[in-house]
Amino acid sequence: MANGPVVDVHVHLQLDDDSQMAGRSHRLADYEGTLGDLRLIAAGVLVMAPRNDLPRTRELNNLALAAAEEDTRLYAMCSVHPADDAKALAEVDRVAAAGARGLKLHPNTQEFDVADDGVAKIVRRAGERGLPVLFDSWSVTDPAQPGKFVNLITGCPETQVILAHMLGPSFLELLVYRVLAEYPSYARNAWFELSGIAPLYADSPLAAQLTWLCRELGVDRVLFGSDYPFFGVGSALRAVDRLGFSPVEVRQITHDNAASLFRLDDGANG
79 lies in some domain: yes
Query: What pLDDT is recorded for position 21?
Result: 86
Query: What pLDDT is recorded for position 84?
Result: 96
Which residues make Cβ contacts (< 8 Å) with residue 184, sequence separation at least 6?
none
Query: What pLDDT is recorded for position 154?
Result: 98
Query: What pLDDT is recorded for position 2?
Result: 53
- Mean pLDDT by 10-residue block, N- to C-terminus, for the chain (270 residues)? 84 92 90 91 97 96 98 97 97 98 97 97 98 96 96 98 97 98 97 97 97 98 97 94 96 97 75
Query: What pLDDT is recorded for position 23?
Result: 84
Strand partners, 163: 135, 192
Query: What pLDDT is recorded for position 91?
Result: 98
269 lies in some domain: no
In whole angstroms, give the CA distance from residue 221 to residue 187: 12
268 lies in some domain: no
Query: What pLDDT is recorded for position 267?
Result: 62
267 lies in some domain: no
Query: What pLDDT is recorded for position 270?
Result: 47
Domain total of the chain: 1
Domain with 170, as residue range(s), is 5-261
266 lies in some domain: no
In whole angstroms, give the CA distance from residue 41 to residue 73: 6
191 lies in some domain: yes
Q: Which CATH number covers residue 180? A: 3.20.20.140
Residue 230's nearest CA partner among 167, 166, 172, 165 is: 165
Query: pTM of the prediction?
Result: 0.96
